[in-house]
Homo-oligomer: A and B are copies of this chain.
């Protein structure tokens, strides 16, 4: 199916058209389920002035932490800084604009962007800094904040398996933000562990239908670094 073959064979091709000053979503929660090779490629390209939308910004020296090193991000939209020292430093110094967004609101803003919902009300963040400058409204006795949706020029996501038509499945908690981001990118690029033929994924259990995915690339070397290695004692 010519028109539906989404597979690309190099990271260059996967990121064709990606330029400075774009808005880019990057899947993952912490270092779990991040598109490692695509992140590395943007790092190599040295693109600047990016607005990055991602729950976290990786760790120092890995994941989006690398973009921070090169000061590639001018605006970061995420929910958690955590122990990423460089992120915290850039935030506190004001060198990088940071729009901290509650995790659930972030997930919903991205889903809304992909689903053609320009804005929605949520109770999350009412009465906090998050609601400052935003419309609020009391509906049936509860207070809510109006949150606009998010979309991006590129969504860089990580899936477990893809078929060549871009149908995706994710593995366990490596799913996280990836399915919503797939829907919200003008160009969605999925880096996957395995590419199979159409029909090999059960149509009843597709997490992300191929309509949302423009390019698929098989990742070369997933490091899958673990942030908090905890084992039973």
Contact = CB atoms under 8 A, between A and B. Distances in A.
Interface of A, helix, strand, loop or mixed by DSSP: mixed
Interface stretch (A6-14, A48-56, A92-100, A116-124): A116-124
A171 B202 CA distance: 11
A139 B118 contact: yes
Contacts of A115: 108
B118 A117 contact: no
A112 B118 contact: no
Which of A112, A118, A169 has the most CB atoms of chain B within a 10 A radius of its CB?
Answer: A118
A120 B123 contact: no
Interface in A112-155: 112, 115-123, 139-140, 142, 144, 148
A147 B171 CA distance: 34
A112 B120 contact: yes
A42 to B, nearest CB: 27
Contact of A120 (B120, B140, B202, B205): B120
A119 B121 contact: yes
Contacts of A229: none
Contacts of A204: 169-172
A118 B119 CA distance: 12
B118 A108 contact: no
Interface of A: 108, 112, 115-123, 139-140, 142, 144, 148, 169-172, 202-205
19 contacts: A116-B122, A116-B123, A117-B120, A117-B121, A117-B122, A118-B121, A118-B139, A118-B140, A118-B144, A119-B120, A119-B144, A120-B120, A120-B121, A139-B148, A169-B205, A170-B204, A172-B204, A202-B205, A205-B205
